[in-house]
């Protein structure tokens, strides 16, 4: 193909999952139901943490910020996915695609850093329980969250500017949103300089946080093994269960989508995993942190009781 200037692409067309109208309608109701549960779950969790003074601790401060990220992360994608399912118009303007890409990347990268900060929080809680409140001071917690957002959106700015200055030789995206693999697949030519930027982004947003998480859990395990009683070990490890589950789900999908050769992109399984990452995980996280957490369940029960008493 002759190389075209990227400015000639005015809009992109999504292929989505299927051209079957009946299946599209079915997917619409499934995605809508998941999105509603995601909104309700994350808004409820954030509201509980803000309203209940018993949840004003470092751990719940991070959980609240995770729910806030998930709330906006799913909202970047899902409304457009829903519109694509019920509308004959499958297009998205170049500017809207750029905005969707920028905000989704920024929120996703921020979550990578935030999960690493939460792993450090769990390490301090287990290794230094008596000094936990002093070490994880409000200032430090706020700084870690701010650094997560700053790092995420700085990297998002870099990768967005590099990606949307590529020359595209087509505008049909074999996916349901503006993501990196299908956009790179449309590029006429991917230069080595762009690949170098990609490796930098991967290292700074995935490898570095993953290394910090592994390091934190290595020291957590070492600390737990020093506990003599089995009950004490189980109690200590149970405080990490929800975080481990969230990390496994989140990083598992990221590694599946982005760590494989470009020749294997745009397969049906990529789309399924992308849906899981962008639509389902934001719904699952509040369930993971509420169903496995006695403090959250107690706070919810108190809130319900107060509502009935009124």
Taking the whole predicted model, whether its pTM rises above 0.85 is answered as: yes
Residues 196 and 198: their CA atoms lie apart, in Å, by 5
Domain boundaries, the chain: 6-309
Q: Mean pLDDT across the stretch 271-293?
A: 81
pLDDT digits (tens, 9 = 90+) for 9-43: 788 888 777 666 778 788 889 999 999 999 999 99
Strand order in the sheet with 172-173: 91-93, 11-14, 172-173
Higher pLDDT, 80 or 262: 80
How many angstroms separate the first and last alpha carbons of the chain? 69
Name the architecture of domain 6-309: Up-down Bundle (1.20)
The residues near 185 (Cβ < 8 Å, ≥ 6 apart) are: 174, 262, 265, 266
What is the Cα Rg of the chain in Å? 21
pLDDT of 267 > 70? The answer is: no
Handedness of CA 254, 118, 240, 243 (dihedral sign): negative
Angle at 70 between CA 245 and CA 66, to 5 degrees: 65
Residues 250, 281 contacting (CB under 8 angstroms): yes
pLDDT digits (tens, 9 = 90+) for 155-186: 999 999 988 888 888 888 877 888 888 888 88
The whole-number pLDDT of residue 173 equals: 83
pLDDT of 57 > 60? The answer is: yes
Which of 23-37, 76-90, 99-113 has the least mean pLDDT? 76-90
pLDDT digits (tens, 9 = 90+) for 118-161: 999 999 999 888 899 899 999 999 999 999 999 999 999 999 99
Mean pLDDT taken over the chain? 84
* Residue reference for tokens 């409000």: 138
Residues 151, 109 contacting (CB under 8 angstroms): yes
Higher pLDDT, 90 or 1: 90
The whole-number pLDDT of residue 266 equals: 47
């Amino acid at each position: 193909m002759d190389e075209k200037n990227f400015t000639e692409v005015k809009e992109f067309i999504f292929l989505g999952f299927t051209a079957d109208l009946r299946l599209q309608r079915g997917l619409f109701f499934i995605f809508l139901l998941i999105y509603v549960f995601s909104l309700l779950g994350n808004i409820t969790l954030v509201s509980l943490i803000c309203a209940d003074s018993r949840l004003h601790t470092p751990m719940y401060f991070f959980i609240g910020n995770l729910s806030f990220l998930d709330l906006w992360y799913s909202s970047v994608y899902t409304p457009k996915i829903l519109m694509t399912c019920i509308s004959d118009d499958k297009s998205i303007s170049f500017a809207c695609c750029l905005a969707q890409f920028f905000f989704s990347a920024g929120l996703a990268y921020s979550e990578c850093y935030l999960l690493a900060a939460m792993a450090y929080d769990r390490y301090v809680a287990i290794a230094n329980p008596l000094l936990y409140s002093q070490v994880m001071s409000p200032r430090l917690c706020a700084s870690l969250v701010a650094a997560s957002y700053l790092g995420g959106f700085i990297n998002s700015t870099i990768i967005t500017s590099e990606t949307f200055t590529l020359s595209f030789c087509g505008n049909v995206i074999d996916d349901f949103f503006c993501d990196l693999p299908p956009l790179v697949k449309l590029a006429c030519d991917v230069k080595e300089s762009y690949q170098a930027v990609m490796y930098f982004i991967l290292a700074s947003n995935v490898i570095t946080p993953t290394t910090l998480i592994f390091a934190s859990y290595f020291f957590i395990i070492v600390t737990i093994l020093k506990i003599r009683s089995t009950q004490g070990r189980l109690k200590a490890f149970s405080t990490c269960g929800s975080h481990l589950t969230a990390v496994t789900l989140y990083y598992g999908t990221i590694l599946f989508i982005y760590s494989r050769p470009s020749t294997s992109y745009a397969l049906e399984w990529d789309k399924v995993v992308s849906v899981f990452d962008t639509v389902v995980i934001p719904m699952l996280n509040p369930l993971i942190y509420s169903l496995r957490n006695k403090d959250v369940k107690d706070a919810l029960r108190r809130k319900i009781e107060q509502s009935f008493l009124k």
